[in-house]
Structure 1
């Protein structure tokens, strides 16, 4: 480590050293846990006696700012007090804006590793045991070799050509998306894709129409940009198009697997939505977050594949098929907004990290992704079937499943009054993670129930976990 100490003259050497070390620790220039030079070495460098340094170290240790570790040396105490800072923003000109951001809820924030429960029914998460670590490691090693051969310049904001080509081929095959490589921008997850589209389409006061219930992080994003979010109810066919208000500039939908209820949007409703968007001059965001996993019937092509007027932006992610931590997503853009979104991407973060981009390009082109999806499909289908059996069996007095044919979560609606907060609290005490459906309703009447994810829980854990849920339901009546 670098330690900057200046000794002026030959007076009060210990006091000079003490004051400078004390100030460095207090200001954070010497961070908690940092190791100080041995007393003999520092004394030689400063031209002072070793006793001067040793005494200073001893004083700071007595005050709790340093800690000695036998056989290792002297370190800045990790529990050393840092200088007090103001914890209020009332004196700042941006206080009102800060308060609005802090007030935003976080209904889909995932637990940390330390707070994860034994049995997790959280939505939007996958089982780490399903991740193809060996194949991904080989692809990452290839990516490192490619990066070592590159010029060292920044990459393209739209993403690596190899990855965009691989994505275009994959989504054309799996989702019927009609696109070219040049229509795709690689993003840091689907959430960044939503952010980029909203940045270039919206202005404060614009109307955004979205499903209610719906994906809360998208709603909060649009509201944070100053938009007026119009809640549009859904029924068994999807969003009720006739209730999209005049003046709407952006429409957010999840047509293949409505979030959170799970039903697909019907063909007539899709046609009506496209016509309404064209009439309004609005852009549609099609969030196709997990529809690569389909369990019944013929796969439904994307809404984007039906778009002949250039109004649909198709947002996809690899967080659901691989791992959320990879933060890799993409957006297929109509020509009218492609240039603006590309500029927004460049200004936001220049480009997404190229290491995972190279790795994912090889992972897709070598066929590993489709192989992984087929393997996961079998696993998720088994988990889904077992949960449906339990909901139709011993859990049927309390819950019923909303019919869904894709993804890896389902909604379980209450058939009788159930104290959902109490159920979730008691379940947590026995290591079962349950999550309420109510947080995804905004203006529409809340339909009480649970969102039941089966991506993160292991198959053999489903029955023991649901046994505990059943027992709790019986106890609370």
Structure 2
């Protein structure tokens, strides 16, 4: 790879090269530790004598911009960047829009590659140690072979046929979704599915009804597209349908496992929601993010399978059944939306990584995903039982768990006033990560509580972590 240096004319060649190298180092474009080309190679590239380049390297080394390492070459020396890039939007015509994005509230806490505390009750985390890495590696190798046979062009915007077929069969079997391969669009996680549907359905000023409390990144996404987002309260049956505003164009719900409280939407409430959406001509997004892990009661029909009018877009993710870095999700769309969403996908993203798609299609088709879910189900069930035993035992004076049947987090409301900010800070000092549900509320009055995820904490760690939490509650409550 050639070093980017521009030499103009044949005058003052040494000065031009010296000034460009020094400027590149001072601005940070040539970072500390970057190896410069050997003098012979750079001389051939620029058409300058090797001695001239050697003299410039020597001068920059003397001035501490470069450092020579015997037997290795010439490298950029560590120096502070003297001229940071201009970061202000002042004077730009789009200043207000830039500031609106810059000032968006921070999203909810999410698991990171670096990890956080010893005991983590964060929502959305999974037991990656349980994931069958050897089987997945075999599927990735299959994906590489498939890509090697391809002609090297861009792939299908809607997703590889093999993966669309695997997804359709998987969710028809596990969630009762009524769909065929051609109804499925492969996305980079649920968030992209929400974005694509919103781009097709909404325009600035459109009203979007969301559960309150609900999923903050969805609210932020709808707002970023210029929509008017209205929080609709939830009760023990789910979203309060009669409070959905007139003229609503899009309704976002999590009926299988309400996020963050956890209760399922009742059948009667689902039927009422479908009637209300039909009367409004509104599209419903059914976010089915983790209901493949069911622990109690009989399975209930998904909203999509009850829809007789083509109103429901069913979205799901593999981040909860595999691991978050997978970044693969899907949308099952009614016929009125499918072509437009595929076009939006092509325009904004073209298509999702073919390698990951081939690997996941193989992983599902070989039954590995089903086996992995079954293994994790047993593990999560034990953690859930352990957590509920404590919430209904020595923690019952402070917290009341909300009844739920699926997923791998439990919502628990405080029975007594608790300073959740202080609780969170003190818990972190003893290596326990707990997360209040306060941030999930939008316009509805806040009911203080905790979201307790048990996907990323080992079963044997639950009791020691809750012992520490109990100690803090006894001090401050």
Query: What TM-score range do you get, normalising by the shorter chain?
Result: over 0.9
Q: Which residue of 2 aligns with 1:153?
A: 153
1:204, CA displacement in angstroms?
Answer: 0.7
Residues 332-411 of structure 1 mapped to structure 2, 5 A cutoff: 332-411=332-411
Residues 99-248 of structure 1 mapped to structure 2, 5 A cutoff: 99-114=99-114, 116-248=116-248
CA–CA separation in structure 1 for the residues paired with 2:338 and 2:6: 56
Q: TM-score, normalised by structure 1?
A: 0.94
Change (3 A) 1:55 1:332: same
Q: Structure 2 stretches of 5 or more lacking a match?
A: none
CA–CA separation in structure 1 for the residues paired with 2:196 and 2:456: 29
Q: Which residue of 2 aligns with 1:430?
A: 430
Q: Which residue of 2 aligns with 1:85?
A: 85
1:298, CA displacement in angstroms?
Answer: 1.0
Q: Which residue of 2 aligns with 1:291?
A: 291
Change (3 A) 1:36 1:476: same
1:85, CA displacement in angstroms?
Answer: 2.3
Change (3 A) 1:362 1:43: closer
Task: Answer with 368-377 or 455-464: which moved more.
Answer: 455-464
Q: Which residue of 2 aligns with 1:473?
A: 473
Q: Deviations over 1:308-336 (max 9, x none)?
A: 11100000110100011111000000011
1:107, CA displacement in angstroms?
Answer: 3.0
Q: Quick check: 1:107–1:439 contact (8 Å CA) kept in 2?
A: no
CA–CA separation in structure 1 for the residues paired with 2:139 and 2:50: 56
Change (3 A) 1:12 1:280: closer
Task: Answer with 379-388 or 83-92: which moved more.
Answer: 83-92
Q: Deviations over 1:410-436 (max 9, x none)?
A: 112111111111111111122211111
Q: Quick check: 1:413–1:449 contact (8 Å CA) kept in 2?
A: yes
CA–CA separation in structure 1 for the residues paired with 2:140 and 2:470: 44
Residues 420-459 of structure 1 mapped to structure 2, 5 A cutoff: 420-459=420-459
CA–CA separation in structure 2 for the residues paired with 1:238 and 1:304: 16
Change (3 A) 1:309 1:111: closer
Q: Which residue of 2 aligns with 1:57?
A: 57
Change (3 A) 1:358 1:111: closer
Q: Quick check: 2:27–2:81 contact (8 Å CA) kept in 1?
A: no
Q: Quick check: 1:255–1:265 contact (8 Å CA) kept in 2?
A: yes
Change (3 A) 1:13 1:184: closer
1:397, CA displacement in angstroms?
Answer: 2.1
CA–CA separation in structure 1 for the residues paired with 2:357 and 2:247: 38
1:65, CA displacement in angstroms?
Answer: 3.0
Q: Deviations over 1:278-305 (max 9, x none)?
A: 1110000000000000001112221101
1:4, CA displacement in angstroms?
Answer: 5.2
Q: Quick check: 1:174–1:292 contact (8 Å CA) kept in 2?
A: yes
Change (3 A) 1:117 1:226: same
Q: Which residue of 2 aligns with 1:324?
A: 324
1:467, CA displacement in angstroms?
Answer: 1.7
SS of residue matched to 2:436: coil
Q: Which residue of 1 aligns with 2:262?
A: 262
Q: Which residue of 2 aligns with 1:34?
A: 34
Change (3 A) 1:128 1:7: same
Q: Deviations over 1:427-464 (max 9, x none)?
A: 11222111110000011110111111111112222122
1:63, CA displacement in angstroms?
Answer: 4.2
Q: Deviations over 1:122-157 (max 9, x none)?
A: 101112202211111000000000000001111111
SS of residue matched to 1:321: coil
CA–CA separation in structure 2 for the residues paired with 1:344 and 1:44: 47
Q: TM-score, normalised by structure 2?
A: 0.94
Q: Which residue of 1 aligns with 2:416?
A: 416
CA–CA separation in structure 1 for the residues paired with 2:78 and 2:386: 49
Q: Quick check: 1:32–1:80 contact (8 Å CA) kept in 2?
A: no
Q: Deviations over 1:42-64 (max 9, x none)?
A: 578766465x5555334434544
Task: Answer with 105-114 or 437-446: which moved more.
Answer: 105-114
SS of residue matched to 1:395: coil
1:98, CA displacement in angstroms?
Answer: 1.1
1:108, CA displacement in angstroms?
Answer: 1.9
Give the total of aligned pairs.
476
CA–CA separation in structure 2 for the residues paired with 1:9 and 1:197: 55
CA–CA separation in structure 1 for the residues paired with 2:470 and 2:58: 61
Q: Structure 1 stretches of 5 or more lacking a match?
A: none
SS of residue matched to 2:387: helix
CA–CA separation in structure 1 for the residues paired with 2:347 and 2:36: 41
1:99, CA displacement in angstroms?
Answer: 1.2
CA–CA separation in structure 2 for the residues paired with 1:324 and 1:290: 12
Task: Answer with 293-302 or 372-381: which moved more.
Answer: 293-302
CA–CA separation in structure 2 for the residues paired with 1:62 and 1:396: 71
Task: Answer with 53-62 or 231-240: which moved more.
Answer: 53-62
Change (3 A) 1:290 1:90: same
CA–CA separation in structure 1 for the residues paired with 2:188 and 2:82: 34
SS of residue matched to 1:87: coil
Q: Quick check: 1:64–1:80 contact (8 Å CA) kept in 2?
A: no
Q: Quick check: 2:238–2:264 contact (8 Å CA) kept in 1?
A: yes
CA–CA separation in structure 1 for the residues paired with 2:394 and 2:332: 44
Change (3 A) 1:450 1:150: same
